[in-house]
Chains A and B, each alone.
Chain A
Amino acid sequence: MVALKNVIDDEIARQEWFLPGNSCCAGCGLEIALRWAMKALGPKTAMITPASCLNVVIGLWPKTAPKFSQFNMAFAAGAAAATGVAAAFKAKDYKFPGQGWNEMVSICFAGDGGTTDIGIQGLSGAAERNSNIIYVCYDNEAYMNTGIQRSSSTPHGALTTTTPFGKERFKKNVPAIMAAHEIPYVATCSISEPLDIYEKFKKAKSIEGCKYIQIFAPCPPGWGYLAEDSIEMARLAVKTGFWILYEIENGVLTLSNKSKSLVDPSKRLPIIEYVSKQKRFAGISEKTLIEIQERIDRDWEKIVDQLECQSK
């Protein structure tokens, strides 16, 4: 596990790459995710941002907050555009060798709608081709930019403007879908663990091929809690075991620090601790609450099964 000292010693990480003065809401989870991802990646990065809050929070033209190359992109086009950028880097490295084009990172930074719904075909294509990109999904569990409509990443029971009585279906497990593509690196992060974000992006940068990282990024207006509680929401999601922190490197699953001990069900906080603090779960039925808890326990059983299988 990386220590704060490592980050302080990292000249690139000491600097800010997503600058203050941007248009994020107070307590925005995305902002923390992007800020820490960029501390690990630094300026030799070209970022594609398909339609999402990120298109807006970077600032209205001509103001802009990223201090790195950043390109807005159509909603479904994130992974493919990043693939094109990565191909260009390779072509440029051939044409202009020794100029550092091979060190450039092509990254797509998308929301959960742009990833789990409209962008999943392009993402699957990039994964199958093993395109040399980092694909990031910052997951705030709904279409926040357009006004809190449900996405396939919205959790069961959550109220959105298109699920006025709570979402019936469960959250789509895209990290598992990406792992099934057998790409070299899949990881989950939470904004409550910035050093973990830093470390995972450092690792992703060093790996050739398609990397997928999903960052749990709470949204105060979308979820209905006070802005100062964003970190606490993300932390509770981890502590209840609702959001599991792990890496899958070349098919091998490793639980990250904060999730390791939660293999023991008694170490997990009950989901009510998390759900009861957000207005989007207001009026949730006991039945739904039990369903959510059962789903968490089942997800963990799968994790335990895989870990056992690996150790054989």
Chain B
Amino acid sequence: MTKVELTDFVQNKETQIIKGNVAAANAAKSARVQVISAYPITPQTTVVEKLSEFVDGGYMPGTQYIKMESEHSVMAATIGASMAGTRTFTATCGQGLFYMYEMIHWAAGVRLPIVTAIVSRGTAPPWNIWADFSDVISCRDTGWMSSFCATHQEIYDEILMSYKVCEDYDVLLPKFVAYGGFILSHTSKPVIIEDQDKVDSFLPDLPDEKGWPHIWVDPERPIMHGNLIMPSGFYSEFRMKLHIALLEAKEKIKNATKEFEKVFGRSYGNGLIQEYNMDNAEVAMLTYGDLALQMEEAVDQVREEGYKVGMVKLRHFRPFPTEEIIKLGKKVKVLGVVDRGIAFGSQTGGPVSCEVKTALHDIEGTAKVFPMMNGIGGREVSLEQQKNQLKLLVKYNETGELPKDMIHGTYWDGLLEVK
């Protein structure tokens, strides 16, 4: 994982100490987005505030910023602007994302390369505004790609990479770039804001005047989109192609990550997952978002105690890196999965641990999956907790013993006592 050191700040004039949300706004600026449509929601607000400064202050010439009256309208306007042939950006989270849900499906159905930052927060009731990925994960089956960021720099970088992938003519799909509310959005860290020429060399100037290859507005070439289609028509095929496009986007994500590393020198594994300290690891922990950042430190410290533990950061939830997980399952004996998000009523309760179990199903001699939950609704996860989680994996590997207080097969860490 790329750690931005303070020395980078000293050496690089492009480095700024900024909040995660400001990094996201800077990414939209660097990507030269043409239309922004947004509605404020905590903890996303500073993204749209920063963008207002950029646009109204004249730092993003030509960019139209529509200040909408609701999230449903935000995504509708973003869809309209994207259909008419512009690069678009918005940001939301939690309740706002849920209110947008109908249009989320619509955006994927039109196959629009919309990039949306999700400053993930808990779901009400009761009201909760702190880090929890249940929001973005609830859009699992919408046809959007989704990724998680672990660092401030990764927010900026991932948004740039996302445009590259989304606008690939073989992909043409929208994407969520999610990061934990407050933990990343409202803390400040050094972030390299890249030189505009360098960004332009990485990210092609799309779309051209004709618009996207599949949808456009042109009086000379009028098209209609979205007419009612009978079951005997191509509806199933449209849907099937969307599924295939998502799966085939995996290669594009890998390529974009490679190219990004070449241009900017920052590495994010193969794009889908990023391994940390996995050399001769016997057990590994898979997690995502900001939890992964602190887990690195936990791995380092537990390794110092002599345990062969490693970590894998899940970067993309959709498309899901099935092949990588299968390989991982062959590499280690126990694979822990920590979820910060809930899939109610599912086998493990954890959305990612369920996916991992599905990926490893039917695979012979694969790792045993150890599902864990913590940090729901932004509850603090300490380094000690994470070290203990790693040691539980070691214990399970050595003795086959699981903690006594598992809840329906899942270890819920850091719960208060409930009667």
Tell me whether B50 is interfacial, beta carbon within 8 Å: no
User: B390 at the A/B interface (Cβ < 8 Å)?
Assistant: no
| Docked-complex contact B37 and A121, CB < 8 angstroms | no
Residues in B45-92 with C-beta less than 8 Å from chain A: 61-64, 66-70, 72-86, 88
Residues of B within 8 A of A76 (CB): 72, 76, 102
Query: Would B34 and A129 count as touching, CB distance under 8 A?
Result: no
Q: In the complex the two chains form, is A84's CB within 8 Å of B66's CB?
A: yes
Verify A69–B218 contact, CB threshold 8 A: yes
Given the known interface contacts A66-B222, A92-B85, A129-B67, the answer about A60 and B80 at a Cβ–Cβ threshold of 8 Å is no
Q: For the complex, give the distance between the alpha carbons of A88 and B81 in Å.
A: 5
Closest B residue to A91 using CB positions: B34
Tell whether A128 is near chain B: CB-to-CB under 8 Å: yes
Residue A99 at the B interface, CB < 8 A? yes
Q: How far, in whole Å, are A71 and B211 apart by their CA atoms in the complex?
A: 15
Q: Select from chain B the residue with minimum beta-carbon distance to A71.
A: B225
Whether B35 and A80, one on each chain, are in contact in the complex, defined by CB atoms closer than 8 angstroms, is: no
Q: How far is the CA of A94 from the CA of B32 in the complex (A)?
A: 13
State whether A80 touches B84 (Cβ < 8 A): no
Residues of B within 8 A of A94 (CB): 61-62
Residues of B close to A73: CB separation below 8 A: 76, 79-80, 106, 226
Residue from A80, A91, A99, A121 within 8 A of B64 (CB atoms): A91
In chain B, what residue has the closest Cβ to A88?
A: B84
Is A287 in contact with chain B by the CB < 8 A criterion?
no
B20-28, B177-185, B227-235 - the one binding chain A: B227-235
Q: Determine the chain A residues whose CB is within 8 A of the CB of B102 once the complex forms.
A: 74, 76-77
User: Which residue on chain B has the smallest CB distance to residue A76?
Assistant: B72
A106 to B76, CA, bound (A): 14
B224 within 8 A of A: yes
Q: B172-210: which residues lie under 8 A (CB-CB) from chain A?
A: 209
A-chain residues with CB within 8 Å of residue B233 when the two chains form the complex:
60-62
Indicate if the CB atoms of A91 and B223 lie closer than 8 Å: no
Asked if A58 contacts B217 (CB within 8 A), the reply is: no
- Quick one: CB contact mask for A49-92 with B, threshold 8 Å, 1 for yes? 00000011011111110111111111011111111111111111
B335 within 8 A of A: no
- Interface residues in B, total, Cβ within 8 A: 46
Per-residue CB proximity of A114-126 to B under 8 Å, as 1/0? 0000000110110
Decide if B73 touches A72 in the complex (CB within 8 Å): no
Please tell me if A165 contacts chain B, counting CB pairs below 8 Å. no
Check: A48 CB closer than 8 A to any chain B CB: yes
- A264-306, CB under 8 A of B: which get 1 and which 0? 0000000000000000000000000000000000000000000
Q: Which residues of A contact B82 (CB under 8 A)?
A: 84, 88
Q: Is A104 an interface residue (CB 8 A)?
A: yes
- Is B219 on the interface with A (CB-CB < 8 A)? yes
Q: Known contacts A74-B76, A83-B77, A91-B63: does B227 contact A60 (CB below 8 Å)?
A: yes
Given contacts A43-B219, A74-B103, contact A88 B86 (CB under 8 A): yes
Closest chain B CB from A52 CB (angstroms):
12
Question: Which residues in B have their C-beta under 8 angstroms from that of A260?
Answer: none
The answer for the CA separation of A161 and B227 in the assembled complex, in Å, is: 26
* Contact between chains at B86 and A92 (CB < 8 Å): yes
- Residues of chain B lying within 8 A (CB to CB) of residue A81: 76-77, 79-80
CB within 8 Å of B: which of A97-141?
A: 99, 104, 106, 121-122, 124-125, 128-129, 131
Interface size class of A (residues with CB under 8 A): 35 or more
Q: B205's closest neighbor in chain A, by CB?
A: A95
- Which residues of chain B are near A104, meaning CB under 8 Å? 217, 219
- Out of B37, B75, B224, name the residue touching A87 (CB < 8 Å): B37
A90 to B86, CA, bound (A): 10
How long is the Cα–Cα vector from A150 to B37 in the complex, in angstroms?
A: 33
User: In the complex, what residues of A have CB within 8 A of residue B85's CB?
Assistant: 88, 92
- Cα(A92)–Cα(B223), bound, Å: 19
Q: Is the CB of A92 within 8 A of B222?
A: no
CB closest residue in chain B, given A99:
B209
**A46 part of interface (Cβ distance < 8 Å):** yes
Of all chain B residues, the one with the shortest Cβ separation from A133 is B80
Q: Which residues of A contact B227 (CB under 8 A)?
A: 55, 58-64, 72
Q: Give the complex CA separation of A96 and B34 in angstroms.
A: 12
Q: Report the minimum CB–CB distance from A102 to chain B (whole Å).
A: 13
Minimal Cβ-Cβ distance residue in A for B221: A69
A86 to B: closest C-beta gap in Å: 8
Pair A87/B66 contact, Cβ less than 8 Å: yes
Q: Tell me the nearest residue of chain B to A48, going by C-beta.
A: B80
A44 at the binding interface (Cβ < 8 Å):
yes
Q: Quick check: B80 and A122 within 8 Å, CB to CB?
A: no
> How distant is the Cα of A48 from the Cα of B218 in the complex, in angstroms?
14
Q: Are B225 and A84 in contact (CB under 8 A)?
A: no
A74 to B101, CA, bound (A): 11
Contact B80 A91 (CB under 8 A): no
- Whether the Cβ atoms of A58 and B68 lie closer than 8 Å is no
Whether the pair A60, B228 counts as a contact (CB closer than 8 A) is: yes
Across the interface, name the chain A residue whose C-beta is closest to B65. Answer: A87
Task: Known A58-B227, A80-B77, A96-B209; judge A122-B84 contact (CB<8 A).
Answer: no
Given A85-B81, A89-B84, the answer on whether A70 and B35 have CB atoms closer than 8 Å is no
In the complex, what distance in Å separates the CA atom of A82 from the CA atom of B79? Answer: 9
For B34, the closest partner residue in chain A by CB is A91
- Alpha-carbon distance between A72 and B223 when the two chains are bound, in angstroms: 11
A209 CB to nearest B CB, Å: 14
Residues in B with CB closer than 8 Å to A46 are 84, 217
CB-based nearest A residue for B74? A80
- CB-based contact A71/B81 at 8 Å: no
Q: Which residues from A are CB-within-8-Å of B79?
A: 73, 77, 81, 84
Give chain B residues whose Cβ lies under 8 Å from the Cβ of A85.
80-81, 83-84, 217
Shortest beta-carbon distance, A70 to chain B, in Å? Answer: 4
Given contacts A87-B35, A94-B62, contact A60 B222 (CB under 8 A): no
Contact B86 A77 (CB under 8 A): no
| Contact indicator A83/B84 (Cβ below 8 Å) | no
Please, what's the 1-or-0 string for B218-256, where 1 marks a CB less than 8 Å from any CB in chain A? 110011111111100110000000000000000000000
B binding-site residues for A, Cβ under 8 Å: 34-35, 37, 61-64, 66-70, 72-86, 88, 102-103, 106, 209, 217-219, 222-230, 233-234
Question: Lowest 3 A-B CB distances belong to which pairs?
Answer: A84-B80, A125-B69, A72-B226
Apart from the given pairs A83-B37, A88-B85, A91-B81, 17 other A-B contacts in the complex at a CB distance below 8 Å = A56-B228, A58-B224, A68-B219, A69-B222, A70-B222, A70-B223, A74-B76, A77-B76, A77-B102, A81-B76, A84-B82, A87-B37, A87-B80, A87-B86, A88-B35, A89-B84, A121-B73
Q: Can you list 17 residue pairs at the A/B interface with Cβ under 8 Å?
A: A60-B228, A66-B224, A68-B219, A69-B217, A69-B218, A70-B225, A72-B227, A73-B79, A77-B73, A82-B80, A87-B35, A87-B86, A88-B64, A89-B84, A96-B209, A99-B209, A121-B73
